Structure 1
């Protein structure tokens, strides 16, 4: 009877006798604790003094207890362990004395809490620097530079730049928030990705000319449709092409490619959009973290070029919402290539 009940519980559950010897355990418990064996002491598989002493405490008091338990191998996970005494039910059915342990996985919740805390701390830090700069110049203009026309013009120009930086940061934060809120709702409207990429190349051509970078595009003659949000797809193309122009300008060339990818097996046809620069490239240790919020390979260079540290995070979340994949390939001195792969859609 216990086996049948435990088999339908997705979280780890373990029943032990008064000596903390394992009576029953479900499949999830065996996955969490591979060394778990019926008829063997729980301590053979679970090396947590807090949980083991909690079993004794529950048996002595008859009162349920909650204890936090962390598992670090093979990956770090955190559980809240509910320990309760086994008692006869209202029908008077016979129940063997002992204790039940129920493990509730807190790993995702804890990671989310940590991400939110890091996000708030980083956002506050990013806003604090330009805000302090603006306030400092205002105080200078009100004091020592009150009647200095040349200083006033120079300071106002710097203040304008800092204000634009704060505006870009706030805009990116709002964009990221909106994208995350709709992450579970995939787009359903066909959009021509060819037209989106062409439009963004035309928009960014003045910037590329200003920086001495040639954008070389290889695009299909006809439309390529994906199920997408046009504004979000424009944002992906803008971020990737603009980044390539700004950070890879030493290579003086950016390749933009769009085309179909051969389908594998039963997978639907895919569309690949790639942007490659020939700049300094990115060291391998930075690649896994490039899409993290506020992560920068070179903080000073990023701020100098007007970056907020959120561009690639926005790209990643948009691509995920569109049920696609973002791949980043780079080697120091060899430039970088960013490829977005999306499922192709019919026009209607």
Structure 2
């Protein structure tokens, strides 16, 4: 859509004049009076007909050619008003640009007339001249827009978008009438413009959910260790008051329960932080192969304690992906640590990183973590990423698991636009596959070392 000419600006003067027939129509009563006077003069005073006709003709010519000031001004004001309705004025644009939220200005037909910088940054490709439905596709929003156009009232609606992540939005839609529009005209005509203001409520809703989930999870998962601590404290204060051996044993169990509570709280808070920014895709570029090597070195002491060898196969060249380094380390640590703990019977954990480049899909990198332990039954696979889901509760607690590791992995990968696939058969180990978009599949990402 091209920029409107200067004549569309708010302070411009349109060159509009009334036609001769319009001027004659406006002076019709004067001309009728002159004609009647001429007829009376011809009949009563024997004035020559040609002279009377010449006088009426001259008066008609003057009325047709000489503009009346009131008529010219009224035509000019009407023309200015119509032009202003065609395009937002400078004052309206400056006001919309000053708002901190995405704003759209559309006309009564639903055509976008102006968008501020915030809307252009969030809704790429939006431009004046396109229908508003090209940028805002929520059915409830478009229905509310139609109601504002037909009734002239204001609307406030909210909706949820599920793709690529769950986000909440609220829109305030209000009519705009140009100065000079009377109350009766507002009732019977469409608004000159419609202002649509979009507000992202995702962070607020996620904070509410984080508080709710934390209370629910904490009350459920922390009840058992708290009960254990309370019982041992009462025992030490009572029957074991003078039994140093029993006290040492109970204190060791209490320390273990306190450590479990700390791990639970750390994982719950970590999961909540990740969920809070799940809709914000990371902007930095990291080397995935270096992260795999770093994680392998960090987990080598645990592997030695469990008598398991970690074998990695990654490219020598940097594998650049768009992501958060700390979160990707957390993903790989959780997967390798699970493989070490639950697949230690196989004595090996293999970690590989390879490029995926199928013709019908975007380029990506596939990270695989495989163990050769007991494997996982098929009925458990769909639920492994649920919070606090454990195949064997006792063995999970014995290995100091919280039941949140794979849930954290799932939410981190959602933020990174990645995917987690799990393959396993009983007795043949398990393979966890992480698919992440390659840097070539990311747009507008500034590279940095």
TM exceeds 0.5?
Answer: yes
Write out per-residue CA displacement over residues 151-177 of structure 1, whole angstroms, 9 at most, x where no aligned residue: 111111111111110000000000000
Which secondary structure state, in structure 2, belongs to the residue aligned with residue 334 of structure 1? coil
Partner deviation per Cα, 1:266-316 (whole Å, 9 max, x = no partner):
62x211111001111111111111101111111111111101010000000
Asked if 1:124 corresponds to 2:219, the answer is yes
Equivalent residue number for residue 387 of structure 2: 293
- Measured after TM superposition, the shift of residue 114 of structure 1 is 11
- Give, in whole Å, the separation in 2 of the partners of 1:116 and 1:335: 37
Shift of residue 10 of structure 1?
2.5
1:10 match? 139
| Paired residues for 1:258-337 under 5 Å | 258-265=353-360, 267=362, 269-337=363-431
* Aligned equivalent of 1:98: none
Question: How far is the alpha carbon of 1:132 from its aligned partner?
Answer: 0.7
In the alignment, which residue of structure 1 is the partner of 2:349?
Answer: 254
Matches within 5 A, 1:178-197: 178-197=273-292
After superposition, residues 147-186 of structure 1 pair within 5 angstroms as: 147-186=242-281
1:7-28 deviations in whole A, cap 9, x for unaligned? Answer: 99836xxxxxxxxxxxxxxxxx
- 2:241, 2:352 → 1: CA distance? 54
For normalisation by structure 1, the TM-score amounts to: 0.66
Distance 1:10 1:310, change over 3 A: same
Q: How many residues align?
A: 250
Counterparts in 2 of 1:147 and 1:190: CA distance versus 1, 3 Å: same
Cα displacement string for residues 74-105 of structure 1 (whole angstroms, at most 9, x for unaligned residues): xxxxxxxxxxxxxxxx979xxxxxxxxxxxxx
- Larger helix share, 1 or 2: 2
Mapping of 1:9-28 within 5 angstroms? 10=139
The structure whose RCO (Cα within 8 Å, separation 6+) is larger is: 1
Runs (4+) of structure 1 exceeding 6 A deviation are 113-119
Q: Which has the larger radius of gyration?
A: 2
Structure 1 residues 119 and 170, CA, compared in 2 at 3 Å: closer, same or farther? Answer: closer
Give structure 1 stretches of 5+ with no counterpart.
12-89, 93-112
Encode CA deviations 1:97-138: one digit per residue, 9 max, x unaligned: xxxxxxxxxxxxxxxx99997875443221000111011111
1:265 to partner: Cα distance = 3.2
Residue range with higher mean Cα deviation, 152-161 or 256-265: 256-265
| Native 8 Å contact 1:324 1:342 kept in 2 | yes
* Equivalent pair of 2:356/2:365 in contact (CA under 8 Å): yes
Contact kept in structure 2, 1:326 and 1:338, CA below 8 Å: yes
Check conservation: 1:263, 1:270, Cα contact below 8 A. no
Q: For 1:237 and 1:250, how far apart are their aligned partners in 2?
A: 20
For 1:212, the equivalent position in structure 2 comes to 307
Which residue of structure 2 aligns with residue 235 of structure 1? 330
CA distance in 2, matches of 1:119, 1:263: 41
Task: Quote the Cα distance in structure 2 between the aligned partners of 1:194 and 1:9.
Answer: 41
SS at match of 2:222: helix
TM-score in terms of structure 2 length:
0.51
SS at match of 2:352: strand
**Structure 1 residue 139 corresponds to structure 2 residue 234:** yes
Cα drift, residue 140 of structure 1: 1.0
Partners of 1:9 and 1:345 lie apart in 2 by: 31
